[in-house]
Amino acid sequence: MASQYKTIHPVKYLRDYLAQDIRPDGREFLRFRSASVNVGAISQADSSAIFKIGSTTVVCGIKAELAAPKADTPNCGYLIPNVELSPLCSPKFRPGPPSDQAQVASKTIDDILINSSALDLTDLCVCIDKLVWVLYCDLICIDYDGSVTDACLGALVAALKSLTLPEVQHNPETGAIVVDTSDRKPFPLKSLPVSTTFAIFDEQLLLADPTDEEESLAKGKLCLVIDGPELCGLYKPGGIPISQELLSKSLEKSKKRADLIRKVIEAAVTN
C-alpha cells in the first residue's frame, strides 16, 4: 500500500513522514547515513577508491600520464577531475554527453580541490617547462541515491591519498625519458576536505545527507566543505532562503561529520 501511495503522491508521502519527525528510511532529521571506503580495488588504475554513503556509490580511478606544462604555469602539473553520471546509476540520466548536472558536479569538485589547496600542483612537476604529470581523475557514479558531491569528493580524496607515482628521469638536453615503475613514491596530499550536503524544506527544516528521493523534493540544497578548522566552500545554488541560525546549525553538524569521514578515509588508506 505504502509503495502505491509513494508513486501516486510523492510529495505528500514525504510530508507525512516529516510531520512525524522521521524520514522515510527511518533516520532522524540530522542523522547521516553510514559511509565506507575501499581503496585500491582496481588493478589497472594508478590508484582507485570506492566510496559509499548509504547506497550512493562513487568509484574514482586515477590514471597518471605525462605531458608538457602550460606556458603560463611551467612548473604546475594538471589535475583533471570529471564526474560521470551515466544512465547506469539512475533512470534520471540518458545516454549521451554529460548532463548539466554532471558538468556542475565536475566543476564543483574541481573548485573544491583548488580552493582547499589540498594538493600543490608544483608537486606534479618533473622538469620545469618540459614535463609534468597529468592526473586524470574519473569519478563514476554507480548508484545515485543523493549527496553525490559528498561521495565524489570522498572517493577522489581517498584515491589521491593512496596515489603513488613512479620515479621519472628526464634528460633536459636529449629529452629522453625513463620511467622506473618499481620505484613508486606516494603523492603528498596536504589536507583532507570533506563535503556535507543538506536538504532544506519548508519552514527552515534541515535534513542531513538527503537521499535522492528527498533531494528531488527538497526546496533547497546546501553544501558545506570543511577542511580542518576552516571552510573551503559554501555552495547554495538558489532555493528557499535560509536564516542565519540554520546556517550555524548546519555548520556545526558538518564539522562533526567531517571529522568522522576523515577518520574513515585515513583508516582505509593506512590499511
Partner 1 sequence: MQNQLETTEEEECVLRPMNCELNQLSRPDGSAMFMQGDTVVVAGVYGPIEAKLQKMMHDRATVETMFSPAKGPPCVDDRAKETVIRETCEAVLLTALHPGMAISINVQELQDSGGLLACAINAACLALIISSISMKFTVAAVSCMIDRESGKLIVDPDSTQIQQARVTFTYVFEGIKKDLVSCHTTGRFSENELMESLEKCRAASQNIFDFYRNIVEQYAIKL
Partner 2 sequence: MPFDQKRINGPEVSVPYSVYTDVNKSKSSKPKKSLHKRVDGREHKDLRKIFVKTGVISQAKGSAYIEVGITKVVCSVFDPREIPNKNEYSLQGELFCEFKYAPFACAKRRIHQQDAEEKEFSLVMQRSLEPAVCRQEFPNFQVDVYALVLDNGGSSLAAAIMCASLALADASVPMFGLVTAVSAGFYKDTMFLDLTVEEEVLCNSAPAKPNPPNNHGLIMQAALPQHDQISEFFLVGSINIDCIKQAIETLTVANKNICPVVQQCLVKTVLRALKRKEQEKN
Footprint of partner 1 (CB under 8 A): 100, 103-104, 106-108, 111, 114-117, 220, 227, 229-244, 247, 251
Stretch 211-270 residues interacting with partner 2 (CB under 8 A):
212
Contact call for residues 265 and 192 (beta carbons, < 8 A): yes
**Least CB distance to partner 1 at residue 185 (A):** 27
For residues 246 and 204, the answer to whether their CB atoms sit within 8 Å is yes
In angstroms, the Cα distances linking 147 to 56, 184, 225 are: 8, 34, 13
The option from partner 2, partner 1, none interacting with 123 (CB < 5 to 8 A, set by class) reads none
In the complex, the smallest distance separating the C-beta of residue 238 from partner 1, rounded to whole angstroms, is 3
| Coil/strand/helix, residue 90 | coil
Q: Which of 213, 220, 225, 271 is nearest to 243 (CA)?
A: 220
| Element holding 51 (H helix, E strand) | strand 47-53
Q: Which residues, in sequence order, are bridge partners of residue 59? A: 50, 140
Decide which of partner 2, partner 1, none touches 90; Cβ closer than 5 to 8 Å per partner kind.
partner 2
* Residue 251 binding: pick among partner 2, partner 1, none (C-beta 5-8 Å cut-off by kind): partner 1
Considering only residues 55 through 114, tell me which ones interact with partner 2, judged by CB under 8 A: 55, 57, 59, 61-70, 78, 80-82, 84, 86-91, 95, 97-98, 103, 106-107, 110
Go through 140-155 and write b for each residue having 16 or more CB atoms within 10 A of its CB, e for each that does not. Answer: bbbbbbbbbbbbbbbb
Q: How far is the CB of 133 from partner 1 (least distance, A)?
A: 22
- The H or E element that residue 53 is part of is strand 47-53
Name the minimum Å distance from CB 168 to partner 1: 30
- Our finding on whether 166 is near partner 2 (CB under 8 A) is yes
3-state secondary structure (DSSP) of residue 270: helix
Closest separation in Å from C-beta 4 to partner 2: 12
From the list partner 2, partner 1, none, which binds 26 (C-beta under 5 to 8 Å, kind-based)?
none
Q: Which three cell numbers stand for residue 153?
A: 569528493
* Three-state SS at 199: strand
Please give the residues from 3 up to 42 whose contact with partner 2 meets the rule CB under 8 A: 41-42
For the chain, how many residues are written? 271
Q: Which residues are near partner 2 by CB under 8 A?
A: 41-45, 48, 55, 57, 59, 61-70, 78, 80-82, 84, 86-91, 95, 97-98, 103, 106-107, 110, 134, 136, 138, 140, 142-145, 166, 168, 177-181, 212
